[in-house]
Chain A
Amino acid sequence: MKRKNQKLAFVFLFLVIISVIFILLYPGCDQSYSSQLKGEERASLTSAPYVPPPILRNHPSRIIVDLETKEVKKRLADGVEYVFWTFGGNVPGKFIRVKEGDIVEFNLHNNPTSKMPHNIDLHAVTGPGGGATSSFTAPGHTSTFSFKALNSGLYVYHCATAPVGMHIANGMYGLILVEPKEGLPPVDREYYVMQSEFYTQGRYGESGLQPFAQQKAEDENPAYVVFNGSVGALTGDNAIQAKTGETIRLYIGNGGPNLVSSFHVIGEIFDKVFTEGGTRSNHNVQTTLIPAGGSAIVEFKVEVPGTFILVDHSIFRAFNKGAIGMLKVSGNEDLAIYSGKQKDQVYFGSDDEDEDQDLFSGPLNLKSLPEIDNTQHINNEYGLDPIELGKSIYTTTCFACHQLNGEGMPGVFPPLAKSDFLNKNKEVAISAIINGLTGEVTVNGKTYNGIMPPQNLNNKQVAAVLTYVYNQWGNSGKKVSEDEVAEIREKKVISMK
Chain B
Amino acid sequence: MKRLTNTICSIVLYSGLFLNANPQGTNNSKMILISTGFYESLFNKGEEQKVEKFYLDVYPVTNKEFLEFVKANPKWRKTNIKKIFADESYLANWKSDLELGEKANRESPVTYVSWFAAKAFAEWIGKRLPTVAEWEYVASASKDKKYAVNDKEVIKKILDWYSSISAKEIPPVGSTEKNYWGVYDMHGLIWEWTYDFNTSLVTGESRGDGDLERNIFCGSGSASAGNAENYPAFMRYGFRSSLKANYTTHNLGFRCAKNFK
Contact = CB atoms under 8 A, between A and B. Distances in A.
Contacts, number: 111
A117 B217 contact: no
A161 interface: yes
Interface in A112-129: 112-117, 119, 121, 128-129
A139 B249 contact: yes
Q: How large is the interface on A (under 10, 10 to 19, 20 to 34, 35 or more residues)?
A: 35 or more
Nearest to A118: B242
Contacts of A212: 159, 163
A136 B238 CA distance: 9
Interface string A61-76: 0000000000111000
Interface in B212-227: 213-214, 216-219, 221-222
Contact of A83 (B163, B218, B222): B163
A115 B241 CA distance: 14
A170 interface: yes
Given A136-B242, A137-B242, A215-B152, A162 B249 contact: no
Given A132-B218, A214-B155, A170 B234 contact: no
A435 interface: no
B207 interface: yes
A133 interface: yes
B217 A133 contact: yes
Contacts of B249: 112, 138-140
Nearest to B89: A140
6 contacts: A133-B217, A139-B252, A141-B87, A211-B156, A211-B164, A212-B159
Interface string B163-181: 1111010000000000000
Contacts of A129: 214, 217-218
B231 interface: yes
A132 B215 CA distance: 11
B237 interface: yes
A73 B159 contact: no
Contacts of A72: 165
A15 B227 CA distance: 73
A164 interface: yes
Contacts of B241: 117, 136
B216 A71 contact: no
A211 B156 CA distance: 9
B237 A162 contact: yes
Interface in A224-281: none
Contacts of A137: 242
B231 A163 contact: yes
Contact of A112 (B89, B152, B164, B235): B89
Given A115-B163, A140-B87, 5 more contacts: A83-B164, A137-B242, A139-B251, A162-B216, A163-B234
